[in-house]
Structure 1
Amino acid sequence: MGQVEFELACAAVKELKGPVSDQEKLLVYSFYKQATQGDCNIPAPPATDVKAKAKWEAWNENKGMTKLDAMRIYISKVEELKKKEAG
């Protein structure tokens, strides 16, 4: 798995029409950020910004993970969501 598969998964995630839980969205987001940016490099948002705080925490949980590992997990998670949608 490499860059091409990752880019295809990035495109595929935008095409998902089935219900995707907030938890699944956060997971996919966190691995995308880790794969493209590396370790979380922004300060934590205030607790009053619930959505931003949840996204920051999800990304920060992947600290230390390599970009390649994050890409692999992202791709497999998107594949899982596509299969779930297909039934």
Structure 2
Amino acid sequence: MNFEEAVIKVKDIPNGKLSQDELLSLYALFKQQSVGDIPAESSRPGVFALKDRYKWDAWKKLDGMSKEQAAEEYVILVEQLLAKYL
């Protein structure tokens, strides 16, 4: 499975099955593959935007990871989640 196929296949997982950590990992790997590192001018969301802050933090942890590596890890994670939940 390649990255584009994984993006489509992850939608097969029923809503409510994925944990917060799994969702954050998927989000961060997707953003790292599609955008790359968080732009330097981007600032961490404030305390009252917790969801955005968690997403930003998850993505920030991947700073320096290549887009190719992010795509590979995304595919591996999707394959694991499909095996776990389907």
Shift of 1:67: 0.3
Match of 2:62 in 1: 62
Give the Cα separation in 1 of the matches to 2:66 and 2:74: 12
Q: Which stretches of structure 1, 4 residues or more, deviate above 6 A after TM superposition?
A: none
Q: Map Cα deviations across residues 49-81 of structure 1 (whole Å, 9 max, x no partner).
A: 000000000000000000000000000000000
SS at match of 1:70: helix
Match of 1:40 in 2: 38
Shift of 1:40: 1.0
Identify, as 1 or 2, the structure richer in helix. 1
How many residues matched?
Answer: 83
Match of 1:77 in 2: 77
Return 5+ residue gaps in structure 1 as ranges.
Answer: none
Match of 2:24 in 1: 26
Shift of 1:36: 0.4
Return 5+ residue gaps in structure 2 as ranges.
Answer: none
Q: TM-score, normalised by structure 1?
A: 0.90
Give the Cα separation in 1 of the matches to 2:85 and 2:49: 31
Shift of 1:12: 0.8
Give the Cα separation in 1 of the matches to 2:13 and 2:38: 26
Does 2:1 correspond to 1:8? no
SS at match of 1:59: helix
